[in-house]
Chains A and B, each alone.
Chain A
Amino acid sequence: MKFIVEILNSIRSLNVRQLLSQAITIGLIMSTALMIWKGLICVSGSESPAVVVLSESMEPGFQRGDMLFLRMTEEPIRTGEIVVYNVDGRSIPIVHRVIKVHEHRDTGEVDVLTKGDNNLADDRSLYAHRQLWLHRHHIVGRAVGFLPYVGWVTLIMSEMPVIKYLVIGALGLFVMAKD
């Protein structure tokens, strides 16, 4: 493992000035990532502008590991749109299609019913106990764009933490060893 020895040697030969400049590099990388994410939140208006599909309920349109881009605007919610919603008491957001909308004349509030394209029944069984409709505050965003397979990176990392630590470790070494 000549490569690893070389890296270790280069770490050992670091002086303080180099170490500080590398700390700044790492900080820059991390803050850039954070800025991109927060920037996306501002542009999309949604608190989670990109989500990864976790289940098979929207097959064959969306498969496990596909990535969706969300937007949340003031526009009213209409049937056919694919929305991401949270149910009270459930931590994982759900990506399903709107099949029914009732918009109240006096308050402007909407009653929304959703269903997964690949599911036989509508989502009432997924909602909170005795909940018949979703309302606007449940909805995080509507899907506007689609990128296949990209989400597998996060799926693999969340399901196999070992790989996550390996990748982070390798990246860390790479940055440290940079001349």
Chain B
Amino acid sequence: MHTFWYRANAVLTFAVTILAVICGMASLSDNFNFPSPHAHVQVLNINWFQKQPNGNDEVSLTLNISADLQSMFTWNTKQVFVFLAAEYESPQNSLNQVSLWDGIIPSKEHAKFSIHTTNKYRFVDQGNNLRGKAFNLTLHWHVMPKTGKMFADKIVMTGYRLPEDYR
């Protein structure tokens, strides 16, 4: 019973078990972090706003996004994926979510930022419902761990409205 192979097997099994327990504990420890993020988004300009030949409305925005997501980071955080989405209702759709900008925050030092950007992804409606449309801008984040469970949450910012006319 006490051959080399039995011992090798026992050591390997033990090592893998310990590693699994440590990974589980690292992931569980994330539950004790209560982040308090801040975000502020301004629509600085409507660059253009028109109806595409296929009948869908499209708008181009210039945005200023500032956020402080430093409290997201724990020792088990690999990166935080952050993105800004426009959310609105339309007659056909009970929910439209259109991602406008996203970014990867690799470390805590980069988690407090303020950027000035046009929308990275096209803001296109399904149909032509965008004139005078009230919409929310929601800053979502997705915490990607070194190991274990992923977390996601958001801040909803209300009170944005598109102009009544194409330009």
Please report A residues at the B interface, Cβ cutoff 8 Å: 3, 60-62, 76, 78-82, 97, 99-106, 111, 117, 122, 143-148, 174, 179
Contact = CB atoms under 8 A, between A and B. Distances in A.
A101 B121 contact: no
A102 B5 CA distance: 58
Contacts of A79: 83, 85, 97-99, 140
Contacts of B97: 78-79, 100-102
B92 interface: yes
Contacts of A111: 126
A174 B5 contact: yes
A61 B144 contact: yes
Most buried by B among A100, A122, A145, A179: A100
B99 A99 contact: yes
A106 B121 CA distance: 27
26 contacts: A3-B5, A60-B79, A61-B81, A61-B104, A62-B144, A79-B83, A79-B98, A80-B81, A80-B83, A82-B150, A99-B121, A100-B99, A100-B121, A102-B95, A102-B126, A105-B91, A105-B92, A106-B92, A117-B102, A122-B121, A146-B148, A146-B149, A147-B147, A147-B148, A148-B147, A174-B5
A144 B85 contact: no
A101 B140 contact: no
Most chain A CB neighbours (cut-off 10 Å) among B83, B99, B106, B126: B99
A99 B102 CA distance: 9
Contacts of A146: 144-145, 147-150
Nearest to B99: A99
B93 interface: yes
Contact of A117 (B23, B81, B145): B81
Given A80-B140, A104-B94, 20 more contacts: A60-B106, A61-B144, A62-B144, A78-B97, A79-B97, A80-B142, A80-B152, A81-B152, A82-B142, A99-B83, A101-B95, A102-B126, A103-B95, A103-B96, A104-B92, A144-B150, A145-B149, A145-B150, A146-B149, A147-B147
B131 interface: no
Interface string B52-65: 00000000000000
